Amino acid sequence: MISNDLLKLIQIPGQLLTALGLWPLKQPSATYRLRTSLTFATITLLATCLTINALYRITDFLQLSKSLYLLISVSLSIMKITVLLLKEDALFVILELLNKPSFLSYLPKYSQHLQGTYRAFRIFTPVYIGHVIVFLILLCIFPSLEGKRLPLDFPFFNYGPYYYPFYAFEVFGTAVSALANVSMDVFTLVLISISTVQLRILNNKLVDTDRHSNVYVSETDVNYVELSTVKYLSECCIHFSDIENFATLTEKFVSTIIFFQLGASVVAICNSCIMILSVEAFSTQSIAIIIYLNSMFAELGMYCYFGNELYLQSMEIHQSCYFSKWYDRGSAVKKILFILMERTKRPLQMKGCNFIALSATTFVSILKWSYSYFTLLRNTMQESN
């Protein structure tokens, strides 16, 4: 049984994914399968329509940008859902690892780390969803405010009997796609955060080695203190092995998601900036694009932030071992600490397709790439005009 604290953390994105029928179940009902199919079919159909529209406007760069800026996000949603559905067995294995005794035994003593992460997600998730809701509202109303036909202009459905059904489909499909994208983002970040929280607990355990191994032992009982410390540090080594295994499986599960998310962020940010230049200032559409751009920055920033925290906490194990008062212990204790320090020389990281790591450096690099791409496209547009 997973700890209630860990379960609460997973339930934040789990409830959203369940509402969409995307949360993997070992024995889903027929109704749940139907909900899954409806969600996937809606997003896929919207992506197909956006692709056809982009191909239709491929000779007009500005109109093509308008089609692409949502097509990128919708395509990302499909990719993330596909990964979740194809790798559901791997996800069950990852969730089972949360039952490891090493993950649960010290949670009550260091609960502040998990509670802090839980509070962060309780704040971040509604704000993220709020951005998406405001964007969807503006997307719905800007055609009527600015005299346009559809939120996303489709020449085939701007007039005629299919206008209102297609208008409703655009809004509904975009909402489902956005909610699926948000849910998968939060779930991916929760999995990364669990590894980070466990590393924080392990670092605290190593620093507090003297306190935990000396609780019921007198100062004169040197041999027993030594044996007790060896046993305690052996448990810390097991804890690190479990964390490493959990982080490795998590990386395999989210690797494709990270890779395409980082790549798509470059194109989406650049494309949104191009669109801002092409619309009227302070119009409803420009505000919607700015909110969309802010969401992309937040999405990219949170991925890189949580990935960077995992890296920093894994690097801190060396320092925690050093502060464990090893100088008061014998050779057996020093040997275990040395082995643990050697094992942690390679820090834990989340990488996209084993190519690019989530870090603060990656965040800055992507912003630079986006700006370079934006400058190139803007110059190309000016020359063509």
Angle 302-204-219 (CA atoms, 0-180°, nearest 5)? 180
Residue-wise pLDDT for 306-356, tens only, equals 999 999 999 999 888 888 877 777 888 889 889 998 888 889 999 998 888
pLDDT of residue 213: 65
- Stated pTM of the model: 0.89
Band the pLDDT of 22: cuts 50, 70, 90.
very high
- Mean pLDDT score, 104-124: 83
pLDDT of residue 135: 84
pLDDT of residue 286: 81
Inter-CA distances, 372 with 119, 279, 367, Å: 37, 21, 9
- Mean pLDDT score, 121-131: 88
Q: How are beta strands 356-357 and 351-352 bridged, if at all?
A: antiparallel
Report which listed range, 9-13, 40-44, 271-275, 296-300, is most confident: 40-44
Band the pLDDT of 1: cuts 50, 70, 90.
very low
Residue (of 305, 304, 320, 190) closest to 246 by Cα position:
190
Rounded to an integer, what distance in angstroms lies between the CA atom of residue 267 and that of residue 310?
A: 26
Contact 71, 64 (CB under 8 A): no
Angle 72-76-77 (CA atoms, 0-180°, nearest 5)? 120
Rounded to an integer, what distance in angstroms lies between the CA atom of residue 222 and that of residue 228?
A: 10
Q: Which two tokens stand for residue 85?
A: 């559905």
Rounded to an integer, what distance in angstroms lies between the CA atom of residue 330 and that of residue 230?
A: 10
Q: Which two tokens stand for residue 285?
A: 């559409």
pLDDT of residue 221: 62
Which has the minimum average pLDDT: 37-41, 50-54, 67-71, 191-195? 67-71
Which has the minimum average pLDDT: 43-47, 110-114, 144-148, 277-281? 144-148
At 24 the three-state DSSP class reads: coil
Q: Which two tokens stand for residue 153?
A: 């202009």
> What is the 8-class DSSP label of residue 327?
G
How far is CA 341 from its chain centroid? Answer: 29
Q: Where does the chain show beta strands of DSSP type E?
A: 351-352, 356-357
Angle 254-260-264 (CA atoms, 0-180°, nearest 5)? 140
Rounded to an integer, what distance in angstroms lies between the CA atom of residue 59 and that of residue 65?
A: 11
Band the pLDDT of 216: cuts 50, 70, 90.
very low
The rounded mean pLDDT for the chain is 85
Q: Which two tokens stand for residue 148?
A: 């346009």
